[in-house]
Amino acid sequence: MRTIRGPALFLAQFAGNEAPFDDWGAITRWAAGLGYAGVQVPSWDRRLFDLDRAAISRDWCDAFAGRAAEAGIAVTELSAHLQGQLVAVHPAYDPAFDGIAPAAVRGNPARRSEWAAGEVRKALTASANLGLTALAAFPGALAWPYVYPWPQRPVGLVEAAMDELARRWRPLLDHAGEMGVDICFELHPGEDLFDGASFEMFLDRLDGHPRACLLYDPSHFLLQAMDYLAHIDIYHPRIRMFHVKDAELNPDGRQGVYGGFQPWLARAGRFRSPGDGQIDFRGVFARLARHGFPGWAVVEWECCLKHPEDGAREGAEFVRDHIIRVADRAFDDFAAGGADAAAVQRMLGL
């Protein structure tokens, strides 16, 4: 067992064009003032991070981490969610995802995918330059439009999509191995890897690549009516990152899991600030501690009701209250009688 590190905060939902959210030094001081010990950095957001420079200069990375350290903040991980998403995009989503791609590759899916893979590669190198061992990412999606099909899917469609997804990610995972960094895929509806079964299909095609790991976020599993505690027991050897994000699923006579046509506030399944939803976080933290989770508890604020700054402030305290300082001895050691090998044999009547 080991004690989970934290609390940390994912900055993607907080970066903005106004102080203190538009400057690296200011946002780390703000996070420290709320009680955070670390931050997870969106590698695509140039207001906070210069991925191009980070990928080529350890000196730049040392200065970047040093500015955070001055505020008492550690850089926990980089995120390449958006770049990873663009590694594989079904044509139905081309117009939507072109909006988060640079102008030079819009309207050209092949060039966009190539650009995205290059950005993930940079993020892996930058992670190594920062002394980090894990990178967060979405895997992208080719088969997602067919997840609940009518008419039925052609035989082999999902298998072909997984083959292609694995082909695109294998060289990036190999580079991750060279850098000593795990790629932690967030299992998420909208991605071809959205649950354990789909992740296993992907992993099989990668021959169990040791750098293909997981970012555990229980909110996405609750909204799929999955057993998110059992998921930890099954996949803990691959879980290297953890988002503390809450959710609630309140199906009624009008809608249930597939309530996504409604605005967030009206959906049966909604994301909530930590502690405001239905996730059993005491169980989550206990399972992760039991299995020796090696990383940080990172608050990801996504809530349809609460103001983000309130969610961030409350999230730091929530994580601190849930981190279990693991025991360094058994509770009944006081009654230990001590025995050598011969005594053991006598106790067994041998």
Angle at 166 between CA 162 and CA 169, to 5 degrees: 140
User: Residue 150: in which H helix or E strand, if any?
Assistant: none
Q: Would you state the pLDDT for residue 328?
A: 83
User: How far apart are alpha carbons 260 and 318 in whole angstroms?
Assistant: 28
Instruction: Name the residue among 217, 277, 216, 273 with its Cα closest to residue 248.
Output: 277
User: How far apart are alpha carbons 91 and 240 in whole angstroms?
Assistant: 31
Contact indicator for 123, 80 with CB cutoff of 8 Å: yes
Strand 296-299 versus strand 5-10 pairing type: parallel
pLDDT tens over the chain, length 350 residues? 899 999 999 999 999 999 999 999 999 999 999 999 999 999 999 999 999 999 999 999 999 999 999 999 999 999 999 999 999 999 999 999 999 999 999 999 999 999 999 999 999 999 999 999 999 999 999 999 999 989 999 999 999 999 999 999 999 999 999 999 999 999 999 999 999 999 999 999 999 999 999 999 999 999 999 999 999 999 999 999 999 999 999 999 999 999 999 999 999 999 999 999 999 999 999 999 999 999 999 999 999 999 999 999 999 999 999 999 998 877 767 667 777 888 888 888 98
Residues written for the chain: 350
Instruction: Name the residue among 209, 246, 339, 233 with its Cα closest to residue 288.
Output: 233
- Within the chain, residue ranges assigned H as helices are 24-33, 51-54, 58-70, 81-85, 94-98, 109-129, 157-179, 196-205, 218-222, 228-235, 281-290, 308-322, 341-347
User: How far apart are alpha carbons 60 and 50 in whole angstroms?
Assistant: 9
For the chain, list the domains and their CATH numbers: 5-347 (3.20.20.150)
Phi and psi at residue 250, to the nearest 5°:
-125, 75
Strand 246-249 versus strand 269-272 pairing type: antiparallel
**pTM listed for this prediction:** 0.95
Contact indicator for 36, 74 with CB cutoff of 8 Å: no
Q: Would you state the pLDDT for residue 347?
A: 87
**The two three-digit tokens of residue 108, written as one number:** 């050209």
Q: What is the CA radius of gyration of the chain?
A: 22
DSSP letter for 92, please.
G
